[in-house]
Amino acid sequence: MAANKTDALVPLSFSGRRAQTMPFGTRARVALAQGDVEGGFALTGVDRRAGTAIYALRISNQSASPLRARMTCARAREAPILAYPLDVHVAPFAIVETLLPVRLAEVGPFDRAIVKVSGADIAFTLEALAPPRRTQRARWLSAVAAAVVLIFGGAFGAATATPHLDLLAAPDRAFAGSPLDVPYAFRGWASMQYTLQTKDGRQLAAGLLTQAQGTLHFSVPRDAGAEVVLAANVAGPLGAQHVWRHIVLAPAAALAAKPAATLPRIDEFTIATPLIRAGSPLQVHYTTNASSGAVWLLDETGRLWASVPISVDGASVLNVPQAAAGHKMRVVLHARNGSADAVATLGALVLPGDTIPADAAVSTAAQTQNLSLSLSTDRAAPGDDVVVTLAGNHGDARVSLTDAAGNTVEQGDLPSGQTAVTLSAPSVTAETTYYVVANISSGVSEQTIVRKLLVAPR
């Protein structure tokens, strides 16, 4: 066994997709017969408000032995203090990148942070500087700055919280018996109450709004008279503002002679399917005045996966292809009246289908390249290590462990020259189904392979 260790505090740069420069740290490399072990340890920053120093640790274990890393803080002429209560475990053929927070109030002043890495036949240490200590003058300046911010912040907050009506765009003239749309906007800590009345005081519409901006929709009756009045009252704890708008009504005959074009409007657009799965229908509900249009299923690159025309009953069903599993999608509602358009968009994540064969590959492109994804076990207990192996000629890959709702529990990078990565089975109280998803980059395209993992208590 040969080992090379750098004890001087030098800048570090961690590899991987989330590479960043780490100041004030050390790194070490140990060469073994079955594979190298590399480590890096650095101070990344200090959160004075939370009283925490943040250290970054990266260990690349290309050997067959599991490793353990323990962090302590050393003080001059005193025994080391345990800085982080949990040990960091590194499985064989795995890379671990993690942040280790140290609570300064609990540890107290120290000179340097030390991480001891040990395994079956290896042991080495990594060191990093302690965070710089604040002087009494710095604390005094911070207190003065906080007081100034509090004073000016309170004055600014009071100014921004005062109710004010910025927009009430009622037209000067309208047609009796026609729809009337009035955009509005107000600010401050307030709500807006509005009423629409005829000139003789007959109330046509009223309401209370808490949304700071939007559009009021009215239907003016034919017998409303020659004029209507729209009154808005924006009120809150710090004041109130009253505004009136007078709208002159033209006879309904003039409306028939020159009808106004109806713009398409989307009042509601929701996804009714709780979980969107590949190979299953996706149902959407909407409310629109459009006479034509379509619902599209697009990915982040703009590729169209499915489409269906809109229906008069406000419900449409899209068939999600099997190959869409693992992709982030946009469900787009396109409404059209004549030459005018309106568009609404919702985000969605397509989960793997309910039934996945043992060696199913969602991407047909992955099949043509003879890529296969295998697990060391398809049934694990909480805390067990699951080795994920990607066989075949592949580019960089991201391996994720997701639950049935599509939430990422754990993930790791798999470079093109590496074939295996280790994941840890999450803690569960009953048998739970998880999915191991490998997203493989190939030029400008991306392929996805999915395997099912069952986790059950012992």
pLDDT digits (tens, 9 = 90+) for 343-361: 888 888 888 876 554 444 4
- Spatial distance between the Cα atoms of 160 and 441, rounded to a whole number of angstroms: 48
CATH of 2-129, one of 2.160.10.10, 2.60.40.3880, 1.10.10.10, 1.10.420.10: 2.60.40.3880
Contact by Cβ (8 Å): 10, 19: no
Contact by Cβ (8 Å): 283, 317: yes
- Spatial distance between the Cα atoms of 70 and 85, rounded to a whole number of angstroms: 9
CA atoms within 13 A of residue 181's CA, in its CB half-sphere: 8
- Cα angle 383, 388, 392 (rounded to 5 degrees) comes to 175
What residue spans define the domains of the chain? 2-129, 164-257, 266-349, 364-455
Find where tokens 């899209």 sit: 318
Contact by Cβ (8 Å): 166, 243: no
Domain 164-257 has CATH 2.60.40.1930: yes
Q: What DSSP string describes 219-237?
A: E--TTS-SEEEEEEEEEET
Report DSSP state, residue 139: H
DSSP alpha helix (H) spans, 61-187:
104-107, 136-161
Q: Which pair of tokens denotes residue 420? A: 């295996």
pLDDT at 382: 92
pLDDT at 48: 80
- Spatial distance between the Cα atoms of 58 and 80, rounded to a whole number of angstroms: 22
Same fold yes or no, 164-257 and 364-455: yes
Nearest to 433 by CA among 271, 273, 277: 277
Beta strands in 310-419 (DSSP E): 315-319, 328-337, 340-349, 372-375, 379-380, 385-391, 397-402, 408-414
Find where tokens 């700055």 sit: 145
Cα torsion 102, 18, 371, 280: sign: positive
Strand, coil or helix: 165: strand
pLDDT at 357: 45
Burial 180-217, CB ≥16 within 10 A → b, else e: bebebebebebbbebebbbeeeeebbeeebeeeeeebe
Question: Which residues of the chain fall short of a pLDDT of 50?
Answer: 1-3, 5-7, 10, 13-22, 254-258, 357-368, 444
Q: First CA to last CA across the chain, in angstroms?
A: 38
- Spatial distance between the Cα atoms of 91 and 386, rounded to a whole number of angstroms: 10
Cα torsion 248, 249, 255, 260: sign: positive
CATH of 364-455, one of 3.20.20.140, 2.60.40.1930, 3.40.50.1000, 1.10.569.10: 2.60.40.1930
Q: Which pair of tokens denotes residue 248? A: 């002159």
Domain 266-349 has CATH 2.60.40.10: yes
pLDDT at 136: 57
Own/partner pairs for 8-11, CB < 8 Å, 24+ apart? 9/127, 9/128, 9/129
Task: Please report, as a single letter, which amino acid is at residue 332.
Answer: V
Nearest to 260 by CA among 181, 365, 335, 161: 181
Strands 379-380 and 445-455, sheet pairing: parallel
Q: Which pair of tokens denotes residue 457? A: 């208590």
Strand, coil or helix: 338: coil
Contact by Cβ (8 Å): 347, 328: yes
Cβ count within 10 A of residue 308: 15
pLDDT at 213: 83
Cα 405 off chain centre by: 14
